[in-house]
Structure 1
Amino acid sequence: MLKIFNDKVYGLDESLIASGYPMVGSQIESWEDEITLNEKDYKRASKLGNVPTGTGHDNFLKGIIVQFDITYPNYWTPQFQRYHFADIVSSTSKMHRLIKMDLKASCNEYVDDAVIEILQKWIDIFNSFIPGQETIEIENKIYSKYEIYMKVISNCPMGLEQTMRVTTSYLQLKTIYQQRRHHKLKEDWGNFCDWCLTLPHFEEFCLNNIK
């Protein structure tokens, strides 16, 4: 199941002030050490942030940066990676670690035991190679070490779970929430959208017009 943790939000206060720049003259004052926001700032942010996606008036949401760690099943990433501003800082690696993983612990509950057994068979064969060995015979067929490794990677189930750290913004999360709130992958996108609601002022600034 998708899980989000270690989340941080940056630039919220500064972006609320910047949302008022279009109505200010050419002179912008420097911020003090402590930024003081008032009711007018929050009302303006809520009004601008809740315009329809794509109209451009919610651009200040770009400045509210969110970073988080997320543990996810592999079938979820193609959908997440379609979003323009959702940069992966770093992630766990199948290429480096799959042959060392505890598969039962690393796969979600929907992966069949038979699938894990097949993958474990190819991992065990790969790990049986000794230094300098480049081929192995299995049932009267010769396989190269590369071919065995490709068997490992190609038979990896989509329910394998990995973790990555992501940088994104309220503007992108607003789009994600609108598109994925009622998605067919209700456990994963449902958890993601529920997490969005825990971010400071996210519902107020992004969702008043769609909830």
Structure 2
Amino acid sequence: MLKIFNDKVYGLEESLIASGYPMIAESIEEWDEKYNLEEKDYKRAGKLGNVPTGTGHDNFLKGIIVQFDVTYPNYWTPQFQRYHFADIVSSTSKMHRLTKMDLKKSCNEYVDDVVIDNLNKWIDIYNKMIESKEVEVILEEKKYTQYEIYMKIISNCPMGLEQTMRVTTSYLQLKTIYLQRRHHKLKEDWGNFCDWCLTLPHFEEFCLKNK
């Protein structure tokens, strides 16, 4: 099941201030370190942030940056990576560490044991080849190279394998994600993601008041 943690929000107050720039006629001065946001700033942000996605008036939401860690099943990532501004800072790696993972713990509850057992079979063969420095192995009268065994492992890895990545995104992108995925078929994963969005400071007020 998808899990989000270690989340941080940056630039919220600064973006609220900047949301008023279009209506300023005089020169913009350096911000006073003691600048106090007023009710009108939050009201303006709520009005601008709740316009229909794509109209452009909610651009100030780009400045509210969110970073978080997310543990996810592999079948979730192709959908998440469709979004333009959701940059992956770093992540755990199948390529580097799949042959070292405890698959029973790393896969979600929907992966059948027979799938895990089959993959572990190929991982055991591969690790023994690495340890003994064998280049080829014969299994059931068929010859396999070390590379072919490795490709067996990668190709048979279940989509229910869970990994973790750190992501940088913004309220503007999260607004789009929320509106598109709130009632998605992957209700456990996208449901958890959208529930988490609602915990972010002022997210519902700035992005979803009219939804």
Q: Which residue of 1 aligns with 2:28?
A: 28
In the TM superposition, what is the alpha-carbon distance from 1:131 to its structure 2 partner? 4.7
Deviations 1:139-189 (A, max 9, x none): 111100000000000000000000000000000000000000000000000
Provide the rounded CA distance (Å) in 2 between the counterparts of 1:60 and 1:203: 15
| Residues matched between the structures, number | 210
**Distance in 1 separating the partners of 2:95 and 2:35:** 46
Q: Corresponding residue for 2:56? A: 56
Distance in structure 1 (CA, Å) of the matches to 2:87 and 2:35: 28
Q: Percent identity?
A: 81
Deviations 1:89-133 (A, max 9, x none): 000000000000000000000000000000000000000113542
Describe how 1:125-204 pairs up with structure 2 within 5 A. Answer: 125-129=125-129, 130-204=131-205
CA distance in 2, matches of 1:205, 1:35: 20
Which ranges in structure 2 are unaligned for 5 or more consecutive residues? none
Provide the C-alpha distance between the structure 1 equivalents of 2:61 and 2:104, rounded to a whole number of angstroms.
41
Instruction: Name the CA distance, whole Å, in 2 between partners of 1:54 and 1:61.
Output: 12
TM-score, length-normalised on structure 2?
A: 0.98
Moved more, 21-30 or 74-83: 21-30
Distance (Å, rounded) in 1 between the aligned partners of 2:143 and 2:193? 46
Q: Which runs of 4+ in 1 moved over 4 A?
A: none
Aligned partners of 2:26 and 2:81: how far apart in 1?
39
Aligned 8 A contact 1:13 1:35 in 2 = no
CA distance in 1, matches of 2:35, 2:161: 44
Q: CA RMSD in A?
A: 0.7
TM-score (norm. length: structure 1): 0.98
Distance in 2, Cα, partners of 1:149 & 1:65: 39
Q: Which runs of 5+ in 1 are unaligned?
A: none
